């Protein structure tokens, strides 16, 4: 979305995801803030961080080659990761599964933990809400119109620039939310976002840059390829994702759901 609306290739998602989880863990440790409160508070904090990033840094490079913002966000990632290491060390911070979501349920031959089900359901919910906002509301229409053709939207009297900051902040907030959701099942430390970025990038490319439906479908696709790969050909699991990416680019250079002109 950030790419669609702003033309900014944001490489800092991994760091924002990490920040989301770290902030949740630090708040839990220092203030005893529960998971449920963190689900609301952390995205708000991340939104503010996103707004600051956009206002203070990203904005100045908007007129230039997208590569500049790519480099900026990459640099920010390195900076944030090392800053967190310096402040909080490299050992993971504890973050337990909330009590209400402990336990497991059996679905026939399959046994899932309640938390996994919750995380999956919550992710779907967030996707649906974002989709509804984008398709059914006036705000969504403006954002989509700006994505489609910023020039023409401007000509029609929409203040595209006004929407740039909140959209950027919203993207960062979503990454932070993902971090909170991941905290109970992953080790929460400064490095946790590092693998994530490359896979994420592959996902976005497969789905088509700037396409939300594409990102969702590609997300599932990448997840399945990875899981089956690990089960049947562990050494090739990670390569498979990039083979998939290469195939998609080969046959549909704009990605599965991308539009040719954005490619």
Partner 1 sequence: MHRNKSLALAASAVAGSLVLAACGSGGPSSGGGKISDDKVVLGLLNDQSGVYKDLSGPNSKVAIQMAVDDYKAKYGDKAVAKNIEIITADHQNKPDIANTKAQEMYDRQKADIILDVPTSSAALAVATQAKAKKKLFIDIGAGTTALTGAQCNKYTFHWAYDTGMLAAGTGGALVADGGKNWSIVYPDYAFGQDMTKSFSAAVEKAGGTVQQKIATPFPNDNFATFITKAGSTNPDVVGIMAAGGDLINFIKQYNQAGMADKARLAVGLMFITDIHSLGVEAFKNTVFTDAWYWNFDDQNRAWADKFKEKTNTRPSFAHAGNYSAALNYLEAVQATGTDDADAVVKELEGKKINDVFLRNGEVRAADHNVTHDVYQVKVKSKDQVKEEWDYEEVLKTVPASEAYAPPSPECKM
Residues that bind partner 1 (CB under 8 A): 82, 85, 89-94, 96-97, 104, 111, 113, 115-116, 184-187, 189, 191-192, 194-196, 226-227, 230-231, 234-235, 237-238
Are 153 and 146 spatial neighbours (Cβ–Cβ below 8 Å)? yes
Q: Please name the residue that has the structure tokens 């006004």.
A: 162
Least separation in angstroms between residue 228's CB and partner 1 is 8
Which one, 16 or 142, has the nearer CB to partner 1? 16
CB of residue 243 to partner 1, shortest distance in Å: 15
Residue nearer to partner 1 on the CB measure, 170 or 196: 196
Residue 98 CB, nearest approach to partner 1 (Å): 12
Closer of 35 and 115 to partner 1 (Cβ): 115
Q: How many CB atoms lie within 10 A of CB 241?
A: 21
* Cα-trace Rg, the chain: 19
Closest CA to 204 of 40, 70, 48: 70
> By C-beta, is 187 or 262 nearer to partner 1?
187
* Closest distance of CB 109 from partner 1, Å: 11
Q: How far is the C-alpha of 77 from the C-alpha of 80, rounded, in Å?
A: 5
Residues 6+ apart with CB under 8 A from 209: 3, 4, 254, 255, 258, 262, 263
């Amino acid at each position: 979305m950030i790419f669609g609306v702003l033309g900014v290739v944001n490489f800092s998602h991994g760091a924002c995801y990490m920040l989301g989880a770290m902030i949740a863990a630090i708040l839990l440790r220092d203030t005893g803030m529960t998971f449920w409160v963190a689900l609301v508070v952390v995205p708000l904090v991340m939104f503010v961080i996103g707004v600051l990033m956009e206002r203070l840094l990203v904005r100045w490079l908007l007129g230039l080659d997208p590569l500049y913002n790519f480099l900026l966000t990459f640099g920010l990632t390195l900076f944030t990761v090392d800053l967190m290491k310096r402040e909080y060390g490299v050992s993971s911070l504890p973050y337990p599964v909330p009590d209400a979501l402990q336990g497991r349920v059996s679905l026939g031959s399959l046994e899932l933990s309640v938390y996994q089900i919750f995380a999956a359901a919550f992710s779907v919910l967030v996707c649906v809400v974002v989709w509804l906002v984008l398709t059914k509301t006036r705000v969504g229409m403006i954002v989509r119109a700006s994505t489609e053709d910023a020039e023409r939207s401007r000509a029609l009297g929409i203040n595209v620039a006004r929407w740039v900051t909140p959209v950027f902040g919203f993207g960062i907030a979503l990454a932070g939310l993902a971090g909170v959701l991941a905290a109970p099942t992953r080790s929460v430390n400064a490095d946790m976002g590092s693998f994530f970025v490359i896979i994420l990038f592959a996902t976005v490319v497969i789905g088509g840059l700037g396409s939300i439906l594409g990102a969702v479908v590609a997300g599932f696709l990448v997840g399945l390829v990875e899981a089956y790969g690990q089960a049947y050909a562990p050494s090739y699991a990670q390569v498979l994702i990039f083979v998939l990416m290469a195939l998609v680019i080969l046959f549909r250079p704009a990605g599965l759901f991308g539009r040719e002109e954005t490619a």
